[in-house]
């Protein structure tokens, strides 16, 4: 009521409706891993959770994909199996093998960062707003301690509801276990409002692998704490995130270029034209112009080490020079044996492969020459570029390396042309780039499942199980699981259920499980039950916060009960609660003699009891078929 001192008309507004409970977001994942960069303008974002809503925003703040490099090596013999319980020896490789021939395979030599690819898979499967925490760039090693610290930093962010760390699959087994146990503790003990999606290390392996059963190893390592706040999926996925055209000979390490040329040359059956193109792989990158200053009356020495600074196939001693006149020099070109006189400039090939340019101070001071760099083994002419020699005042001999930086645009164009030529002429080259793409496309399923959770929550609600849904950008699981093989995944003596991802004829690859890791619990066996309860708890918690310090009286109790009942009625109408009528679906109790004692009121404690009948998925559908007597 306004304070009335002056005659007039006063308006008094009264709220007709109580506060309402607003349903909180249920699928906002938090991702942790390595990124190319982590900057918001000039502000660093490393180790800082940052909200994005699209892949374009990821590119803006965190950059692009890493550059994977591979060696071509003889296929290694299968490792001897080790005792399942020996965590030190039974440490299966983090990545599947990539065969290129029956006797050779590709071995990735760079760290197998996978957050960027996982983020693409997340958005392709329906992902939306999420948080990304960068724990380092592409020069930093995988570090379990940094990942655990990033998990702790998420305690300050109230919005995330899911936690996913795909790069736990790149850690040694003991370190991966520490991070995943920290994920469960963060969700179930610290925050109690989040759900962890865990990836199984070496989940691309079949359970009968001589390296050990990856599911059994995961179950043994994960422990027994907070299992109802997490879920795991098996096996890994063969995806279509990357195409073979995304990879070239640049993804093969310099030390393996000779082996790559050999593989391709054998495949083309001595075709001279194609072999000439193949031999350009690893050629010195010398496209573009560079300038060498020769002091007046002095000389400058150019060595193969200068001109082949980016060469990855030959040493300086393997290269030789040939200097040709381009017609732009004053005077005539005179050749005498291995010496060439060029109108005031003299050039001589020295024993160590160097070329000395001397200047006659009485002669012209500028000119252009074409330099051809040739491998002494006679494989091919590797490349050519224009050399500009210019006289100058008497100055110290310049730094040759600085003068020989190649033009990036010309370099990229040359490499693109060579890549296109090899794809068109040499099928074996396309096979190798396809093998790289296959290896890079083998991913743990956690990020894709986070996208599925988001998509199902948006279209159906958090109470709908994220199962019987097809995965996008997936060709198949890495291991085909049938009905019988899934039995031990779904129900185990350990109680730790693992959700299967299975191929079905005519339907694609489907998620065929909706259980938390706590498979023996009747209360929290199913993912939608745990996540729906998290949503209800958080929604009511945030709404009731408005009544802190209100009188602990009947008026407040009635208002709170009506507010919560209205919210739960809306959930029931959407199908999130079980029951023919609202009274069967939930009950809300609050008040003196009901949920509180006189002592509670005196101590300022307001207790509310909410009971809800959550819907559970129809996991087992039993159809009974019997014969009946003929009626007519």
489 neighbors 481 (Cβ within 8 angstroms): yes
Coil, strand or helix at 528: helix
Each residue's pLDDT tens digit, 180-206: 999 999 999 999 999 999 999 999 999
Q: What ranges do the domains of the chain cover?
A: 29-68+110-241+441-527, 290-405, 551-632
Q: Which residue has the tokens 């196939």?
A: 313
Coil, strand or helix at 260: helix
Asked if pLDDT for residue 621 goes beyond 90, the answer is: no
Per-residue confidence band for 78, with pLDDT thresholds at 50, 70 and 90: low
Each residue's pLDDT tens digit, 554-609: 999 999 999 999 999 999 999 999 999 999 999 999 999 999 999 999 999 999 99
Asked if pLDDT for residue 308 goes beyond 80, the answer is: no
451 neighbors 474 (Cβ within 8 angstroms): no
Beta bridge partners, 381, equal: 374
Q: Which of 235-249, 364-378, 478-492 is least confident?
A: 364-378
198 neighbors 231 (Cβ within 8 angstroms): yes
Segment 26-46 shows an average pLDDT of: 96
Q: Which class for 100: exposed (0-12), middle (13-18), buried (19 or more C-beta within 10 A)?
A: buried
423 neighbors 429 (Cβ within 8 angstroms): yes
pLDDT, position 626 = 83
Segment 136-161 shows an average pLDDT of: 96
DSSP 550-608: S--SHHHHHHHHHHHHHHHHHHHHTT-B--SSHHHHEEEEESBTTTB-HHHHHTT---E
CB atoms within 10 A of CB 424: 12
Count helices and strands in the chain by DSSP H and E runs: 17, 27
Would you state the structure tokens that stand for residue 508, as one six-digit string?
Answer: 């694609």
Beta bridge partners, 108, equal: 70
Q: Cα separation of 576 and 588, whole Å?
A: 16
pLDDT, position 295 = 47
Most confident range (mean pLDDT) of 88-102, 120-134, 301-315, 417-431 is 120-134
pLDDT, position 87 = 41
CATH (one of 3.30.750.24, 3.40.640.10, 3.40.50.11780, 3.40.50.880) for 29-68+110-241+441-527: 3.40.50.11780
Most confident range (mean pLDDT) of 16-30, 362-376, 381-395, 584-598 is 584-598
Closest CA to 377 of 261, 252, 251: 261
Q: Does the structural domain 290-405 have CATH classification 2.60.40.10?
A: yes
Q: Which class for 19: exposed (0-12), middle (13-18), buried (19 or more C-beta within 10 A)?
A: middle
Residue 76's Cα: distance from chain center in Å? Answer: 27
Question: DSSP character for 614?
Answer: B
Per-residue confidence band for 319, with pLDDT thresholds at 50, 70 and 90: very low
Q: Which of 34-48, 119-133, 178-192, 316-330 is least confident?
A: 316-330
Would you state the structure tokens that stand for residue 455, as one six-digit string?
Answer: 């998509």
pLDDT, position 112 = 94
Length of the chain: 632
27 neighbors 162 (Cβ within 8 angstroms): yes
Q: Cα separation of 473 and 241, whole Å?
A: 7
Q: Which residues contact 487 (CB under 8 A, 6 or more apart)?
A: none
CA neighbours closer than 13 Å in the CB half-sphere of residue 357:
28
DSSP 39-63: EETTEE-TTS-EEE-SHHHHHHHH-
Q: Cα separation of 200 and 232, whole Å?
A: 7
Tell me the average pLDDT of the chain. 81
Q: Which residues contact 176 (CB under 8 A, 6 or more apart)?
A: 144, 168, 169, 201, 221
pLDDT, position 370 = 46
Q: Which of 62-66, 380-384, 473-477 is least confident?
A: 380-384
Alpha helices in 241-293 (DSSP H): 257-267, 272-278
Asked if pLDDT for residue 219 goes beyond 80, the answer is: yes
**455 vs 364, residue with greater confidence:** 455
pLDDT, position 187 = 97
Helix (H) or strand (E) holding 470: none
User: pTM for the complete prediction?
Assistant: 0.81
Asked if pLDDT for residue 533 goes beyond 80, the answer is: yes
Please give the sequence-ordered ranges of beta strands (E in DSSP) within 318-400, or none if there are none. Answer: 319-325, 333-336, 339-342, 345-349, 355-359, 366-375, 381-392
Segment 361-367 shows an average pLDDT of: 45
277 neighbors 267 (Cβ within 8 angstroms): no
Most confident range (mean pLDDT) of 66-80, 147-161, 614-628 is 147-161
The yes-or-no answer to whether 29-68+110-241+441-527 and 290-405 have a common fold is no
479 neighbors 96 (Cβ within 8 angstroms): no
Coil, strand or helix at 251: helix
Q: Which residue has the tokens 């009511």?
A: 540
Q: Residue 430 — φ and ψ, nearest 5°?
A: -65, -35
Segment 65-81 shows an average pLDDT of: 81
Would you state the structure tokens that stand for residue 204, as one six-digit string?
Answer: 């691309």
Per-residue confidence band for 2, with pLDDT thresholds at 50, 70 and 90: low
Coil, strand or helix at 244: helix
Per-residue confidence band for 276, with pLDDT thresholds at 50, 70 and 90: confident
């Amino acid at each position: 009521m306004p304070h009335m001192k002056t005659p007039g008309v006063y308006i008094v507004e009264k709220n007709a409706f109580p506060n309402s409970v607003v349903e909180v977001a249920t699928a906002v994942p938090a991702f942790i891993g390595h990124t190319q960069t982590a900057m918001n303008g000039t502000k660093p974002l490393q180790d800082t959770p940052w909200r994005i809503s699209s892949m374009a925003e990821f590119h803006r703040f965190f950059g692009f994909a890493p550059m994977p490099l591979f060696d071509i090596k003889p296929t290694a013999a299968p490792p001897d199996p080790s005792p399942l319980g020996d965590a030190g020896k039974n440490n299966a490789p983090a990545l599947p093998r990539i065969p290129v021939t029956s006797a050779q395979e590709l071995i990735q030599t760079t760290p197998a960062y996978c957050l960027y690819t996982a983020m693409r898979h997340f958005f392709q499967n329906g992902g939306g707003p999420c948080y990304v925490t960068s724990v380092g760039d592409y020069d930093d090693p995988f570090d379990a301690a940094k990942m655990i610290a990033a998990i702790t930093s998420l305690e300050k962010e109230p919005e995330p509801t899911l936690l996913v760390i795909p790069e736990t699959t790149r850690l040694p087994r003991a370190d991966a276990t520490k991070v995943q146990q920290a994920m469960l503790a963060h969700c179930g003990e610290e925050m109690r409002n989040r759900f962890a999606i865990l990836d199984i290390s070496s989940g691309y392996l079949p359970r009968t692998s001589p390296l050990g059963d990856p599911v059994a190893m995961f179950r043994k390592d994960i422990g027994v704490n907070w299992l109802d706040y997490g879920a795991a999926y098996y096996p890994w996925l063969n995806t279509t995130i990357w195409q073979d055209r995304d990879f070239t000979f640049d993804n093969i390490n310099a030390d393996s270029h000779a082996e790559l040329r050999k593989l391709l040359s054998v495949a083309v059956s001595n075709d001279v034209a194609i072999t000439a193109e193949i031999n350009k792989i690893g050629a010195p990158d010398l496209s573009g112009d560079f300038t060498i200053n020769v002091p007046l009356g002095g000389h400058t020495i150019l060595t193969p080490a200068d001109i082949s600074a980016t060469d990855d196939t030959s040493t300086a001693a393997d290269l030789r020079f040939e200097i040709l006149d381009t017609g732009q020099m004053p005077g005539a070109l005179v050749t005498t044996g291995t010496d060439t006189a060029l109108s005031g400039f003299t050039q001589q090939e020295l024993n160590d492969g160097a070329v000395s340019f001397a200047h006659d101070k009485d002669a012209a001071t500028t000119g252009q020459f074409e330099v051809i760099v040739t491998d002494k083994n006679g494989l091919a002419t590797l490349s050519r570029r224009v050399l500009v020699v210019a006289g100058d005042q008497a100055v110290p001999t310049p730094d040759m390396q600085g003068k020989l930086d190649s033009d990036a645009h010309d370099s990229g164009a040359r490499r693109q042309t060579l890549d296109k030529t090899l794809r068109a002429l040499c099928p074996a080259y396309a096979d190798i780039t396809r093998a790289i793409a296959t290896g890079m496309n083998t991913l743990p399923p956690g990020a894709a499942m986070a996208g599925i959770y988001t998509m199902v929550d948006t279209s159906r609600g958090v109470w709908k199980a994220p199962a019987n849904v097809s995965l996008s950008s997936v060709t198949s699981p890495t291991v085909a699981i049938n009905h019988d093989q899934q039995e031990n995944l779904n129900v185990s003596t350990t109680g730790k259920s693992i959700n299967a991802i299975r191929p079905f004829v005519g339907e694609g690859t489907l998620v065929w499980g909706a259980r938390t890791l706590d498979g023996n619990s009747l209360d929290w066996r199913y993912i939608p039950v745990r996540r729906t309860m998290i949503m209800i708890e958080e929604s009511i918690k945030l709404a009731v916060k408005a009544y802190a310090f209100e009188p602990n009286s009947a008026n407040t109790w009635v208002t709170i009960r009506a507010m919560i009942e209205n919210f739960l009625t809306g959930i029931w109408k959407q199908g999130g609660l079980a029951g023919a009528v609202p009274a069967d679906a939930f009950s809300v109790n609050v008040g003196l003699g009901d949920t509180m004692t006189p002592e509670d009121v005196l101590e300022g404690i307001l207790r509310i009891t909410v009971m809800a009948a959550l819907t559970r998925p129809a996991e087992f559908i039993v159809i009974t078929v019997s014969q009946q007597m003929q009626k007519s």
